[in-house]
Structure formats: structure tokens, C-alpha cells
């Protein structure tokens, strides 16, 4: 169960998933000095069809101007408002393994509205280690961290067997949105949103497509 859907809040889930792509493209256009853009330009920059671009933006009340397109700054502000990018969101990252530490050190979150304010781990031997600008903290302090640092979003980067217990702790402490990188489906109450990212599953999907292409080299290797 993944809690309340984005459609409950007025925008289709598919649209919400694409809005960050448009925001990134608009930010790039702005940095290049562009004042207007067309749906075709956004489509080319994001890999989304022009029809879907226009449909998604119409949900925000933006229809552009015939022969001119969309005002880059205005549309960028509209999308930022729609997806909560007019404020910074404090994030706690649980799990200081290879994936967790790589994410904690990634500098790109802050510029896109999310700020990792704590990295926690269950291994006492890791506590105090420096990861980027943060020192790893004990998971025993998770509730205090969430409360005192006004955290509402969490990243779960733990082994699969620990993920549900961690999710329960997060929800119990007041977290209402979770990015789950563990290879398990989390059970959460209504009102808690979960986004699942399973890199191994995505690679399996790509492997399926590669198999369908029937590369002779791969077939030869399998037959040995």
C-alpha cells in the first residue's frame, strides 16, 4: 500500500511524475537566456510527447500563446508552486551503506528543493563517520531528529529485511513521504506517500528488451 495518491490532490500521478522534468528543462532554457519556449521544445528536452506536455500544462491552467509559446519564467514558477519547490524540504536518509553514502554526498538535491539534514544508521560502528557535510547519527535518535529538524520526507536505503521496520519508525515519528530504495514493497497507512525505486528491477526490464533484440553475440555466449 502506498497511501494517498497524487490524484487525490488534484493532479494525475503521471502529470506529477513529469512536472520535475519540465522544471529541469525550463531551468536550463532560462540559463541559456530563453524567454519563451514551445511544447515541442519541452518535448524534445524531456522525451515526453508534445501532446502530453500540453495536456500536463493545461492541468496547471497554462495553455501558452499561439505563435509565441510559454513564458519560461512564468511557467517555471507555476510548476515550482505545483510541486512544492517554493520551499526547501528537510530529508532524513536512513542507511549509510554504499548507496546511502553516495546519495548523502550528492550535491544536486539542494538546488531542487530537498536538503538532507541527517544520515542515520543502525550500526554503532558507523556513528560519527563523516558523509559529505554530515556525521552519521544513530537510528536510536531517529524520532528526535525528525521532530527537531522538521523532517517530513525520508529516504530508505537499508537492506530489504530492515526496510519495513524503518518505515514503521519513520511514520510513527511523523514522516509522511518516503523514497524507498530497498527491494521490498512497504506497507504504510493512508496519507503516507511512497515512491519505490528498484534499480535492479529496472535493469531486468532493460535486459528483457535486450533479449528481444536478439543480439547474435549474446545468443552465441549463452549457447556455449
- What domains are there in the chain, each with its CATH number? 6-82 (1.10.10.10), 89-199 (3.40.50.720)
Burial class of residue 63 in the structure, from the number of CB atoms within 10 Å of its CB (0-12 exposed, 13-18 middle, 19+ buried): exposed
C-alpha cell at 141: 535518535
Write down the pLDDT at residue 5.
Answer: 44
The pLDDT, as a whole number, for residue 191 is: 94
Whose CA is closest to 156, among 141, 144, 171, 145?
171
CA torsion 87→93→99→101, rounded to 10°?
90
Cα–Cα dist 207/218, whole Å: 11
Per the CB < 8 A criterion, the answer to whether 96 and 36 are in contact is no
C-alpha cell, 121: 544508521
CA-nearest of 1, 204, 65 to 74 is: 65
Give backbone dihedrals phi and psi of 94, rounded to 5 degrees, phi first.
-110, 120
> d(Cα 23, Cα 97) in Å, to the nearest integer?
31
Q: 91 near 85, Cβ under 8 Å?
A: no
Q: What share of the chain is helix, strand, coil (3-state, %, to 5)?
A: 50, 15, 35
Prediction pTM value: 0.80
| The three cell numbers locating residue 207 | 535486459
What pLDDT score does 73 carry?
95
Q: Which three cell numbers stand for residue 66?
A: 499561439
Give the per-residue pLDDT at 221.
54
What's the CA gap between 104 and 125, in Å, rounded? Answer: 18
Residue 95 grid coordinates? 542507511
Give the pLDDT of residue 87: 84
pLDDT at 194: 97
Do 4 and 193 contact (CB within 8 A), yes or no?
yes
Instruction: Report the share of the chain in percent with pLDDT over 90.
Output: 77
State the Cα–Cα distance between residues 172 and 26, nearest whole angstrom: 38
State pLDDT tens for residues 110-145.
888 899 999 999 999 999 999 989 999 999 999 999
Q: Which residues of the chain have pLDDT under 70?
A: 1-9, 215-224
Instruction: Give 81-107 as a 3 state SS string.
Output: HHCCCCCCEEEEEECCCHHHHHHHHCC
Amino acid at each position: 500500500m502506498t497511501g494517498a495518491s497524487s490524484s487525490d490532490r488534484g493532479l494525475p500521478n503521471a502529470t506529477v511524475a513529469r512536472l520535475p522534468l519540465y522544471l529541469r528543462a525550463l531551468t536550463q532554457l532560462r540559463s541559456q537566456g530563453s524567454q519563451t519556449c514551445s511544447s515541442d521544445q519541452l518535448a524534445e528536452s524531456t522525451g515526453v510527447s508534445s501532446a502530453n506536455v500540453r495536456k500536463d500544462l493545461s492541468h496547471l491552467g497554462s495553455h501558452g500563446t499561439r505563435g509565441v509559446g510559454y513564458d519560461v519564467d512564468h511557467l517555471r514558477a507555476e510548476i515550482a508552486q505545483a510541486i512544492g519547490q517554493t520551499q526547501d524540504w528537510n530529508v532524513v536518509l536512513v542507511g549509510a551503506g554504499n548507496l546511502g553514502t553516495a546519495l548523502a554526498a550528492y550535491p544536486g538535491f539542494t538546488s531542487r528543493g530537498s536538503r538532507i539534514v541527517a544520515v542515520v544508521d543502525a550500526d554503532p560502528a558507523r556513528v560519527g563517520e563523516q558523509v559529505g557535510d554530515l556525521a552519521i547519527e544513530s537510528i536510536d535518535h531517529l524520532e528526535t531528529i525528525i521532530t527537531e529538524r522538521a523532517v517530513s520526507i525520508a529516504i530508505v536505503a537499508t537492506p530489504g529485511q530492515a526496510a519495513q521496520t524503518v518505515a514503521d519508525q519513520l511514520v510513527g515519528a511523523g514522516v509522511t513521504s518516503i523514497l524507498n530504495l530497498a527491494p521490498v514493497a512497504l506497507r504504510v497507512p493512508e496519507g503516507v506517500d511512497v515512491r519505490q525505486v528498484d534499480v535492479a528491477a529496472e535493469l531486468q526490464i532493460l535486459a528483457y528488451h535486450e533479449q528481444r533484440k536478439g543480439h547474435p553475440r549474446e545468443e552465441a555466449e549463452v549457447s556455449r
